[in-house]
A and B are shown apart, each in its own frame.
Chain A
Amino acid sequence: NAGVTQTPKFRILKIGQSMTLQCTQDMNHNYMYWYRQDPGMGLKLIYYSVGAGITDKGEVPNGYNVSRSTTEDFPLRLELAAPSQTSVYFCASSWGTADKEKLFFGSGTQLSVL
Chain B
Amino acid sequence: AQTVTQSQPEMSVQEAETVTLSCTYDTSESDYYLFWYKQPPSRQMILVIRQEAYKQQNATENRFSVNFQKAAKSFSLKISDSQLGDAAMYFCAYSGGSNYKLTFGKGTLLTVNP
Contact = CB atoms under 8 A, between A and B. Distances in A.
Given A88-B43, A103-B47, A42 B100 contact: no
Nearest to B105: A42
Nearest to B6: A42
Contacts of B93: 42
Interface stretch (A15-23, A43-51, A73-81): A43-51
Interface residues of B, number: 23
Given A43-B104, A102-B50, A50 B99 contact: yes
Given A96-B100, A102-B50, A103-B102, A42 B43 contact: no
A37 to B, nearest CB: 9
A53 interface: no
A94 B107 contact: no
Contact of B45 (A40, A41, A90): A90
Overall SS of chain A's interface: strand
A101 B43 contact: no
A102 B91 CA distance: 14
B100 A41 contact: no
B95 interface: yes
23 contacts: A31-B99, A33-B101, A40-B9, A40-B107, A42-B104, A42-B107, A43-B91, A44-B104, A45-B101, A45-B102, A45-B103, A48-B99, A56-B99, A88-B43, A92-B45, A96-B100, A101-B33, A102-B47, A102-B50, A103-B47, A103-B102, A105-B44, A105-B45
* Shortest beta-carbon contacts, A-B, top 4: A42-B104, A105-B45, A43-B104, A42-B106
Interface of B: 4, 6, 9, 31, 33, 42-45, 47, 50, 91, 93, 95, 99-107
Interface of A: 31, 33, 35, 40-45, 48, 50, 56, 58, 88, 90, 92, 94, 96, 98, 101-103, 105, 107-108
